[in-house]
Amino acid sequence: MTDSPQTLDRAREVLRRAHAVTPSRSLLRLEDTLRRGDASTKQLAQLIEGSPALAARVLRMANSSFYAPLEPVVSLSRAVPMLGHTVLRQLVLATLVLSRQETGRSTKQNVAAARLTGNAVRSAVVARALATATRIVPPDDAFSAGLLHDLGHIYLLDDTGDAYASYLVDEQPADILAREIEITGTTHQDVGVAFAYDWNLPPALAEVLRDHHLPVPRSLGAVVAAADLLVAEVHHPSAEGPEAASARSDASLAGIGMTREAWTGIEPQVRADYAELLTVFERFG
């Protein structure tokens, strides 16, 4: 854990300022309905129709090879149960956060936000594959946790601006959490804790947002941490070199009872899956 009273207070301040920017009312209604868990598929489909961009995203996701439908999915009433309430709610939350200040970001901030979005999608798909292989947690829970685990970065990016964008894009500090405190007075994990509380996320998911850089072995957080490192190994090479990155990934895989050889066997399909899903997440709004 990295939280302290000071950094948590600062994280709550960041959230309060962010919530002054009113998100889409249709998405808020949908999120509230999903949170209560008492809506029918028909009711959810009708609410999703109120956000055309989300409706298109849900249909594209249901038709992807990730879900491998036997025939094209053309209706929301069929797509909703395919994705399930867990994935659908986290998709709505991610859309709410990632699109919140999209039009007000500088070029540097847009580059950072795009990188965060790409990392979130890749981590979600890899986490789902690792959960399927290890059976530590349900695959949908792993996908949701992978998608949301770094959303604290988006809040800090919009609160701090180009200084934080430069940190995300250009820096590779040895202690990323200490560096975040230097720049913002808090960390993306502390903001994640505040976010989890505000949106009443399940305790297991809140724990991932708080502790994914030092997770308990064989936990949901450990699955997400391993996914994070595998994604970074391929897409964000470390200044320390590929051998150091591979060693960290191997240690993280060992923490969930998986070997490099087992990962190598599923990696091509996983990379194909997240390449396709990235087109679904190209724009949030």
Residues 35 and 149 in one domain: no
Torsion of CA 145, 109, 236, 172, to 10 degrees: -100
Q: Which residues contact 63 (CB under 8 A, 6 or more apart)?
A: 69, 72, 73
pTM score of the predicted model: 0.89
**Amino acid at site 248:** R
Helix 152-160 vs helix 107-134: angle between axes, to the nearest 10 degrees? Answer: 170
Terminal Cα-to-Cα distance of the chain (whole angstroms): 33
How far does CA 217 lie from the centroid of its chain? Answer: 20
CATH of residue 109's domain is 1.10.3210.10
Are 255 and 223 found together in one domain? yes
Where does a domain end: 34, 65, 99?
99
Same domain, 8 and 148: yes
In the numeric block, which tokens belong to residue 26?
A: 């249709």
Query: Are 6 and 61 contained in the same domain?
Result: no
Question: Is residue 214 domain-shared with residue 255, that is, in the same domain?
Answer: yes
58 and 108 fall within a common domain: no
In angstroms, the CA 46 to CA 48 distance is 5
Q: Pick the last residue of a domain from 99, 132, 158.
A: 99
Chain mean pLDDT for the chain: 90
Q: Are 146 and 68 in the same domain?
A: no
The count of other CB atoms within 10 Å of the CB of residue 111 is: 15
**Confidence label for 238 from pLDDT (cuts 50, 70 and 90):** confident
Both 123 and 63 in one domain: the answer is no
Q: Which two tokens stand for residue 114?
A: 């795009």
How many domains does one find in the chain? 2
For 252, how many CA atoms within 13 A lie in the half-sphere containing its CB? 27
List all residues 6 or more positions away from 34 whose beta carbon is below 8 Å from its beta carbon. Answer: 44, 85, 88, 89, 92
Give the separation between CA 95 and CA 159, rounded to whole angstroms: 18
Residues 152 and 282 in one domain: yes
* Residues 48 and 60 placed together within one structural domain of the fold: yes
Look at residue 104 and tell me whether its pLDDT is greater than 80.
no
DSSP 8-state symbol, 215:
P
Query: Within this chain, do residues 253 and 185 fall inside the same structural domain, yes or no?
Result: yes
Q: Is the pLDDT of residue 256 over 90?
A: yes
pLDDT tens string 196-225: 998 889 999 999 999 999 999 999 999 999
Least confident of 5-9, 17-21, 181-185, 268-272: 17-21
What's the CA gap between 43 and 112, in Å, rounded? 36
pLDDT band of residue 1 (cuts 50, 70, 90) is: very low
| One domain for residues 128 and 202 | yes
Please give the DSSP secondary-structure letter assigned to residue 101.
Answer: T
Q: Which of 99, 124, 142 is the last residue of a domain?
A: 99
Give residue 53's pLDDT: 81
Q: Which domain holds residue 252?
A: 1-21+101-285
